[in-house]
Every structure is written in structure tokens, then in C-alpha cells.
Amino acid sequence: MDAGTVACAPSGLGWQTINWKNVRRKVRKLQVRIVKATQDGRYGKVKALQWLLTHSFSGKALAVKRVTENDGKKTSGVDQVLWNTSVAKTKAIASLKKRGYKPLPLLRVFIPKKNRKKRPLGIPVMKDRAMQANDLLSLEPVAETTADLNSYGFRPKRSTADAGEACFKCLAGKNKAEWVLEADIKGCFDNISHDWMIAHIPTDKTVLQKWLKAGFVYQNKLFPTKAGTPQGGIISPVLANMTLDGLEKALAEAFPQIRIKRQWLKMHMVRYADDFIITGNSKEWLEEKVMPVVVNFLSERGLALSPEKTKITHITEGFDFLGWNVRKYNGKLLIKPSKANIKAHLEKVREIIKGHQAIKQINLIRLLNPVLRGWANYHCHIVAKKTFAYIDAQVWSMLWQWSTRRHPNKGARWVKDKYFKTRGTRNWVFAAEDERPGRKELKLLSESDTPIRRHIKIKADANPYDKKWEMYFEARDARKRQNSLESQNKRTVSNLSQK
């Protein structure tokens, strides 16, 4: 069955017979060509290749596949439409046409932030998500080729762990920078200039303008959008990244002596999305020289620094970045989980436990284990062993209260025997028998069993869309799988030793 037949098939059979390996291969081939044209400065060819990709069956099919299989697949926009059947997905591929396309307004919802404020989130309809995903396939290779070397947020193959390791490299050691500018952009996604994006983002300008000006619906009222790119759109993170890319170059041009006297200025920038730090040799230099360059760079894009979150800190006082506290103790740099992040984690665990007073023990373990494992895995490459032990102790205390409240007329020994088992050298293992056939006992995960392993930072100029880096990323992915397997084996050994 050829592409045209698949795209126009009247039943779900078309979707089920798509050769996804071939689809990805064709998209990948065009993306590699886009990278090469961008590197050569042939922007006319870039535009032509982007047109080929966004109008191809493979690009449209992959876009529909993404929006119907990601976390938001069950969340509808203002039209209340979902593509949850093979028939709907097949028809959706044929519907992704730019001629006469007009996006619908976004559905505005609010999600809580860590500071108890609320962040606005815009939910596009399924078709608009797919159109954005389709354009993203052609835009992301350009974004990765032109991105700042030390930008790590919302980028493929990069993570917060890479940003943390970048901080370590530019701050650890006796001769490294001692002052840090902690910068935070005020309402970054909400305030980016539409005119700047339309003028500088290398994508279909007409469609981009339609997305930016689509407006949003809140409490059944339509509101216009005069600035910003909505949080919730698939393409929004890349648009925000491309808006902020160039800050490293602006700093290098403002201080050209950095190339000769790098140890004197000690200037480095590490950015994750709209949060970034800049290191320097003195507080005065960061405040009087660097800050004006940053402010001017952002003002051209309609942005400004947040006064309450932007500050200059000495490394011995430490600063919080991406859930970690980065600080020097007697000349030694240590990165630990931040107090705020620990508090938020414990509050989340406490809410789960308190919100399920009458649940079966084994079901409570099923709810808690993913939360504990995810948090431990996030911090497993920093100095977190003592923190893991502290978390385990706090969780035990919460579970003991949970257990005793369920049986107010029973003694402590009875409660202990019912909910906490002796396994190996451990006497207080929160465990329960799985009643399902063929299943074994389920134990609460202990964060202190998570091995600490140093993260290897991605090479600054590595580009996942550039063919010359294929072997590098294959080796990196293989190492990641091996580390994951070793961590799983260590947890298995720890569990066996408790039996």
C-alpha cells in the first residue's frame, strides 16, 4: 500500500499498515539535509527542505503519531475532539494541510507552581498540535544547529544532569569563578515579542503568526494574545529556546578578551530553558558589565529579568539551580538536593499517604514507588546519599503513622508485624504480599539503595540531527542503558539480601 493510499484510506487499516521504520528513515534523511544546509549558510535550501518535510506523508504521519501517543493524548482542546481511533488518525494525516488552515483558540487552564502561584497553560486542539508537531520536525534540526553550546533545556539528548555537570566543570577547582549571577526571566513564555519571533524564527511565517495570534478561551470567553508563546504548545519550547539562543555569542562579543584571558574573567554561562547562571571573577563585574548586556539582549525580544529571582551570589554561600544546591565547602564544590526540592518531595509523598488512609497496603506501595524512584534517579548523580537516607527515615515515620491510625486499638508490635517485615538485615521493611496469581511480595523502594553514579556531560557541540555524531549518540545511549541495567541489578541484589 503506497503513501497516498494510506493517507486516504477510509478505515483504520491504513494507520495499522504504516511502515514506521520507513517513515522515520525518510524524515531523518530530510532532517540531516536541513542541518547540512544550515551549517553551509544556504538558508534558501533550508526553506525548501523544510517545505518538503512538512508536506510529506512521512512528516504528517509522524506528527499525528506523536500527538496521539504522548501524555496529552487524552486531553482535548476547545473543540473537545480526540484522535483515539485508527480511523481518526488516518483521516488526521490527510487533514494536515496549510492551505486555508486556521488554528482554533487555545483552552486556558492553570497549573500550580512551587511558589504556590499558578502557571497559565494553553491547550491547543488535536489538529493544531499535529500541525505544530509537523513544523517542529523541520524546525528542530535548525534550532539544534544554531543553539547556544551551553543550553540544555527542552533539547533532544540533553538533560538537567548535563546542566548540573556543566556547573560543576566551571565552578569546581581553586582557580574557578567565585561569583555567580543567578538569572531568571520574568514570564518568559508569556512575554516574548511576536514581531521578533516572526522576523527571526526560520519557519513558515504565515502559519507561525496564526499560532501566535490564535488567542485563548478562559471561562467561555475569548481573549487575544498580543505577546508570548503559550506553554502547552508542542512547538513552544523550541520557539522560546531559539529566542534566547545567541546570549552566549552576545557575551563573547561584549567581552572579546575572554578568548585570551579566560582565567581572568572566568565567564561561563549555563542555561536550562529560561533559567540560567553566568559565572564571573567579581560581583562588581557581573553587576556593572554583564547585567547590562543581558538586559539589552532580552529587551530586544520583549523580555526582562525577574527582580526578585535574579541575584549575584558568592559560591561559598551557594545557590539553587534545577532542584540542586551548588556550593563550595572549604574549597570543595558539592552539588546536593536543595532544601526546597527535598521539602516538595516529602510533601508530595505525605499527600499520597494522607490521601489514601483506607487503601490496601500493596496499592499504597504501588503509588509511592514510582515517586520515590523518580526522585532518586533525578538526584543519583550528585552528592545525595545522606539525603536519600534522610528521605527514607521521613517516609518510614509517615508510614508508621499511617499504619497506627488504621488500628487505634492495636499495640505497636501487632502493627509492626502486620505492615513491616524483617528481610535480611533490615527489620522495618514496608512490604505486602501480592494477591494476584504468580506475583510475589511487593516492597517499598528504599532511596538509599539507589547507587550514586557521576554523569558524563554531553559534548557541547553534539547535534543529534548531524550524521557525523551518530556513533557518539549510539555509544552514549548504550552507556545509559548499561547504567540503568546495573542500577536495576543492584536494587535486585539489595532486595534479595533482605529475604
Structural contact between residues 218 and 118, judged by C-beta atoms closer than 8 angstroms: no
Q: 459: which 3 cell numbers?
A: 559534548
> Residue 149: how many CB atoms within 10 A of its CB?
13
Task: Check if the beta carbon of residue 81 is closer than 8 Å to that of residue 126.
Answer: yes
Q: What is the three-class DSSP state of 310?
A: coil
Name every residue whose Cβ is closer than 8 Å to that of residue 324 and which is 6 or more positions away in sequence: 164, 335, 336, 337, 338, 341, 379, 382
In angstroms, what CA-CA distances link 254 with 180, 245, 288, 387? Answer: 18, 16, 13, 41
Specify the pLDDT at position 72.
86
pLDDT single digits (tens) 451-471: 999 999 999 999 999 999 999
Supply the pLDDT for residue 494: 56
The whole model's pTM is what? 0.89
Per residue in 294-350, pLDDT tens? 999 999 999 999 988 899 999 999 999 999 999 999 999 999 999 999 999 999 999
Q: Are 81 and 6 in contact (CB under 8 A)?
A: no
Residue type, 421: K
270 Rama sector, left if φ>0, alpha if ψ -120 to 50, beta otherwise: beta
- Give pLDDT, residue 257: 67
In the chain, the amino acid numbered 57 is F
Look at residue 53 in the predicted model and tell me its pLDDT. Answer: 97
- Residue 118 contacts by C-beta under 8 Å, 6 or more apart in sequence? 110, 111, 112
Give exposure, 283-305, as e/b (b: 16+ Cβ within 10 Å): eebbeebbbebbeebbeebbbeb
